[in-house]
Amino acid sequence: MAHKRGIRLTRADRIFHASVNASLLAILAILVVPIWSTITLSFRPNDFIGSALDGMLLAPWRWSTAAYEALLGHRAFLTSVFNSFRIFCQGVATALFLTVPLAYMLSIKTLPGRKLLYGLVLVPYLFNVGLVPNYLLVTKLGLVNTLAAVYMPGAISVYNTLIMKSFFEGIPEELKESARIDGASELTVLLRIILPLSKPILLTIGLYYGVHFWNDFFNAMLYINDNKLQPLPILLRNILLSSGMNEYVEVNAFGEAPIAAIKAASVFLAAIPMLAAYPFIQKYFVKGTMLGSVKG
């Protein structure tokens, strides 16, 4: 590297690069150790004796999948996974269906009343009245004990709308104008010209919504008390907060694996869909986030 540039690295520069690399290695360790310890904990066999440190270094051929078998063979767990999956799909579809037209409308600079509409969207974002007024609305609408109660209150995020609006504004005006001159309706412009060019932003915003709905336990805790409709985070929370085998019936029903392994395995399973989608979408969200942060 130094030779290529034709400049010799001084001693101070070498120390600099060594400390940069050492810092990043330390950060890497700080990131890896907690995740690794949770993963190995989930594979810990029932007859394991030793400290957590030993457990982290346990050879993979001694790992036990009892915790996973117990969870995946348990009806309550599978039901909650299914509920979360439905919330995810319905939620992302609803959120994009509502967010895209709003963002598109705000992105049209010649639109009469654009300032007014922009203000209308911004006010609730800047002025948050809090939990109870929203709670009264959702209960009044009869959404209690429906999956919609989990995603409907957050189906338009103003932040996401503004990011999407910035993206739409970046699409060259000539493309839209030429279609309009050819007599295309606004719907056609949106569907045929804007959306095909907007795949990165649709994926990014879809991911934001999806992660939010998949992770949400608060709305589910507020509005869902029917056990059959419980999403995964609620079940996880119940499993995690039970400290002993007998305290929580659901945990007791899981059988042969250590309770700590059950806890770790359940969150690992809950994180898998996200971990699977993550590398695929990573390149988009960095772009999307930068766009949102630079333009607002």
Partner 1 sequence: MKAATGELKSRLARHKSVYLLASVSLAYFLLFKYVPIWNAQIAFRDFQALDGVLRSPWVGLKNFSDFVNSYYFWELIRNTVFYSVFKMLFSVPAAIFLSVALYECRIFVLRKSVQTLAYLPHFLSWVIMYAILLAILSPSNGILNDIIKLLGGEPVPFLTDAKAFPWIVLLSDTWKEMGWSAIIFLAALIGIDPSLFEAATVEGASAWQRVFKITLPSIRPVIVMVVLLRLGTILDAGFNQIFMLYSLPVYSVADIIDTWIYRQGILEFRFGLATAVGLFKGVFGLALIAISNRLIRKYTDSGLY
Q: What is the 3-state secondary structure (H, E, C) of 21-37?
A: HHHHHHHHHHHHHHHHH
Minimal distance in Å, beta carbon 147 to partner 1? 16
Stretch that binds partner 1, among 53-61, 74-82, 164-172, 248-256 (CB under 8 A): 53-61
Minimal distance in Å, beta carbon 259 to partner 1? 10
Side-chain half-sphere of 173: how many Cα atoms within 13 Å?
4
Instruction: Tell which positions 73-132 bind partner 1, by CB under 8 A.
Output: 97-99, 101-102, 104-105, 108, 110-112, 117, 120-124, 126-132
Instruction: Tell which positions 171-190 bind partner 1, by CB under 8 A.
Output: 185-187, 190
Minimal distance in Å, beta carbon 44 to partner 1? 9
Residue 130 is classified by DSSP as -
Minimal distance in Å, beta carbon 159 to partner 1? 11
- Measured CA to CA, the distance from residue 41 to residue 55 in angstroms comes to 7
Instruction: Tell which positions 254-283 bind partner 1, by CB under 8 A.
Output: 260, 263-264, 266-267, 270-271, 274-275, 278-279, 282
Interface pick for partner 1 out of 73, 142, 170, 296 (rule CB under 8 A): 296
Q: Mark 193-222 with x for binding to partner 1 (rule: CB under 8 A) and - for no binding.
A: ------------------x--xxxxx---x
Please list, in sequence order, all residues whose beta carbon lies within 8 angstroms of the beta carbon of residue 117, skipping any fewer than 6 positions away.
105, 106, 111
Residue 12 touching partner 1 (CB under 8 A): yes
Torsion of CA 12, 16, 22, 26, to 10 degrees: 130
- Measured CA to CA, the distance from residue 142 to residue 259 in angstroms comes to 38
Stretch that binds partner 1, among 37-45, 58-66, 75-83, 247-255 (CB under 8 A): 37-45
Reduce the DSSP state of residue 41 to 3 states and report it.
Answer: helix
Question: Is 159 within 8 Å of 97 (Cβ atoms)?
Answer: no
Residue 49 touching partner 1 (CB under 8 A): no
- Measured CA to CA, the distance from residue 65 to residue 42 in angstroms comes to 8
Minimal distance in Å, beta carbon 244 to partner 1? 11
Phi, psi of 14 (to 5 degrees): -65, -40
Minimal distance in Å, beta carbon 255 to partner 1? 19
Residue 163 touching partner 1 (CB under 8 A): no
- Measured in whole angstroms, the distance separating CA 284 from the mean position of its chain's CA atoms is 14
